[in-house]
Amino acid sequence: MFARWQDVPTAAVPSWQGFFEGVAFAGGAAGGLGSQALVHAVRAQSAVDNLIAAYRRKGHRIARTDPGARGHRRRCRPR
């Protein structure tokens, strides 16, 4: 449908024309990111998201959040 819109922009219904214009802009047709740069940016953002999620999981696993656990002491000392 996008390829058809590129050939004949009036072939798409008006509600889809705005969407296709945005896709074309992001794809480089109107000065946006090129397709390779867009793919790289998406992969980089995905890698950052995965790294943040990994740190969250690790922090959750090592956190000592059970105040009723045996031997649990508060170790808050001002420096």
* pLDDT score, position 36: 77
* pLDDT score, position 48: 94
The three state secondary structure string of 25-43 is HHCCCCCCCCHHHHHHHHH
User: Please, which pLDDT band fits residue 3 given cuts at 50, 70 and 90?
Assistant: confident
C-alpha–C-alpha distance, residues 42 and 36, integer Å: 10
C-alpha–C-alpha distance, residues 73 and 36, integer Å: 53
Q: Quick: pLDDT tens for 15-72.
A: 777 777 777 766 655 445 566 777 788 889 999 999 999 999 998 888 777 767 666 5
